[in-house]
Amino acid sequence: MARKNTTARAANRRSNTMWGGRYKLGPAEIMEKINASIGFDRRLYAQDIAGSVAHCDMLVAQGILTAKDGRDIKRGLAQVKAEIESGKFKFSTKLEDIHFNVEQRLTDIIGPAGGRLHTARSRNDQIALDVRMWVRDTIDKVEEMLRDLQAALIDRADEYSATIMPGFTHLQTAQPITFGHHLMAYVEMFGRDRSRFADCRARLNESPLGAAALAGSPHPIDPRKTAKALGFDRPMANSLDAVSDRDYVIEFIAAASTTAVHLSRLSEEIVIWCSAPFRFISLSDAFTTGSSIMPQKRNPDAAELTRAKVGRIVGAFVALCTILKGLPLTYGKDMQEDKEPLFDAADSLELGIAAMTGMIRDLKANPERMRAVASADYSVATDLADWLVRKVGLPFRQAHHVTGRLVGIAADKGVDLDKLSLEEMQAVEPKIDRSVFRVLTVEASVNARKSLGGTAPANVARAVAEARRRFLGRAGER
Ligand code: ARG
């Protein structure tokens, strides 16, 4: 009964104007609903129209379309674009997707010549092109945003190049480091992220246009022309691959996932550093929120949300791989399901990068507190062991043992290592002399770590200058 009703209702519909030639009935309501992608793929309008303009120019140049039709089509496309951008365009679910919505409106504006634009093209190479260009545009935006984030980190590292904080392993105080050095670690991480996006961009930069439905076209088309016009390095070599490849979506989201992991780690540090037991940094009113019940609270919500965005982004990666696995060549409608995860991953990533850049510029360090924690918990014990190696000539393993005994004595007394008397030290190792006290401060500890990539303030200052040159392209900063 229910089924009959659905069929009857479908019969009242007109068959599809784009492909309904052999159809007597329109689609069931639920068919229209599951099939339509216009709700989200309207975001591809700019790429779709740019691709159509290049395709139209090529068709004219090859003598497949007349110059007049070409002019009309381009005028119509320009109007469609203006209507979309001014919010006047009426998107229709009946027309399924962005391609049909644009083509139908084009035909309304210029008449039957609008129907000639789709010569030697299919929605299969068209969507492959649109998504490719959208990912390429998004990579360019993300690259720029990551550069801004690096610039913020580098500026703050410069400011805090000699600010001492505890370095952790296992989140236990390990050795004193500089805050600038810590921030510069993230500059390296985001630098690798940028190169991952650049790799993805280089690999995706081939045009699928000309593959048509899957097998190529019998028209005398020139895919090199469209590829060049749209900024691609070359057309794709295999038409089947051209319409079915979504590697670039996977690669983009994989690169986004790695970046999101980095953002999440830094977010976690910010949350920890802001907490009352740490108080290493504070964020201003601009980057915290209050509690509805506890008037004293300042919550680092932006850091928490950035920490969490990774869930959606890695989720998108899993979604994409799962959608594409087992898909036979070539195009399958399954591929329409790539867009929402892709868009969501890109939006989440951009939001996370922007929020992080804001927080990095906003945060204020509390150097007294950082130094106090860095000085506690025998953080300079390794410096004492290293001193025993260099000055007394002990094998490191033995120096480690002697230092361990001295730490034990100090801990029993409840004092720092430099508060032990020379006699107390000599009771454990007779060759220790007064000069040992020079290495038992956090300043001496960080200043001594001048090895390549080490935490010494002088190193950080140099790393800052180098990073400006390597990542920000500012010459003369050597
Ligand atoms: N909306 C479709 C997608 O996103 C466009 C391609 C449709 N092609 C087709 N033969 N139905 O994948």
Neighbouring C-alpha atoms within 13 Å toward the C-beta of 7: 4
- Report the nearest atom of ligand 1 relative to the CA of 131: 4
Spell out the residues 6+ positions from residue 377 whose beta carbon is closer than 8 angstroms to its own.
166, 172, 173
Ligand 1 pocket member 459 (CB < 6 A): no
- Report the nearest atom of ligand 1 relative to the CA of 37: 1
Q: With cut-offs at 50, 70 and 90, classify the pLDDT of residue 296.
A: confident
- Catalytic residue list: 170, 291
pLDDT tens sequence across 418-467? 999 999 999 999 999 999 999 999 999 999 999 999 999 999 999 999 99
Q: How far apart are CA 315 and CA 31, in angstroms?
A: 27
- Report the nearest atom of ligand 1 relative to the CA of 333: 12
pLDDT at 474: 64
Q: How far apart are CA 322 and CA 316, in angstroms?
A: 10
Q: With cut-offs at 50, 70 and 90, classify the pLDDT of residue 23.
A: confident
Ligand 1 pocket member 246 (CB < 6 A): no
Alpha helix (H) ranges present in 364-455? Answer: 367-375, 381-387, 396-413, 422-428, 442-448
Looking at the predicted structure, is the pLDDT value of residue 187 above 80? yes
Structure token digits, residue 129: 């092109």
pLDDT at 12: 53
Residue pointed to by tokens 């070409």: 70
Report which protein residue has its CA nearest ligand 1's atom 12.
336
CA distances from 129 to 46, 80, 126, 208, 445 (A): 12, 19, 5, 6, 56
Looking at the predicted structure, is the pLDDT value of residue 153 above 70? yes
Question: What number is the average pLDDT over the span 382-398?
Answer: 95
pLDDT tens sequence across 45-58? 999 999 999 999 99
Ligand 1 pocket member 37 (CB < 6 A): yes
CB 159 within 8 A of CB 246: no
pLDDT at 294: 83
User: 93 CA to middle of ligand 1, Å?
Assistant: 14
Ligand 1 pocket member 123 (CB < 6 A): yes
User: 77 CA to middle of ligand 1, Å?
Assistant: 20
Helix (H, G, I), strand (E, B) or coil at 337: helix
Residue pointed to by tokens 């994409």: 320
User: 76 CA to middle of ligand 1, Å?
Assistant: 23
Q: String of b and e for 390-427 (b: at least 16 CB within 10 Å)?
A: eebebeeeebbbbbeebbeebeeeeebbeebeeeebee
CA distances from 133 to 46, 201, 224 (A): 10, 10, 16
Ligand 1 pocket member 336 (CB < 6 A): yes
- Report the nearest atom of ligand 1 relative to the CA of 96: 1
Ligand 1 pocket member 127 (CB < 6 A): yes
User: 393 CA to middle of ligand 1, Å?
Assistant: 74
Question: What number is the average pLDDT over the span 305-330?
Answer: 98
Looking at the predicted structure, is the pLDDT value of residue 6 above 80? no
pLDDT tens sequence across 327-377? 999 999 999 999 999 999 999 999 999 999 999 999 999 999 999 999 999
Q: With cut-offs at 50, 70 and 90, classify the pLDDT of residue 1.
A: very low
Higher pLDDT, 295 or 141: 141
Ligand 1 pocket member 101 (CB < 6 A): no
Ligand 1 pocket member 44 (CB < 6 A): no
Report which protein residue has its CA nearest ligand 1's atom 11.
333
pLDDT tens sequence across 195-205? 999 999 999 99
- Report the nearest atom of ligand 1 relative to the CA of 98: 1
Pairing of strands 172-178, 164-169: antiparallel
Q: How far apart are CA 153 and CA 140, in angstroms?
A: 20
User: 336 CA to middle of ligand 1, Å?
Assistant: 6
Structure token digits, residue 119: 């010569």
| Pocket-testing residue among 124, 134, 334, 340, ligand 1, by greatest number of atoms within 8 A of Cβ | 124
Q: How far apart are CA 272 and CA 139, in angstroms?
A: 31
- Identify the DSSP state of 16: P
Ligand 1 pocket member 97 (CB < 6 A): yes
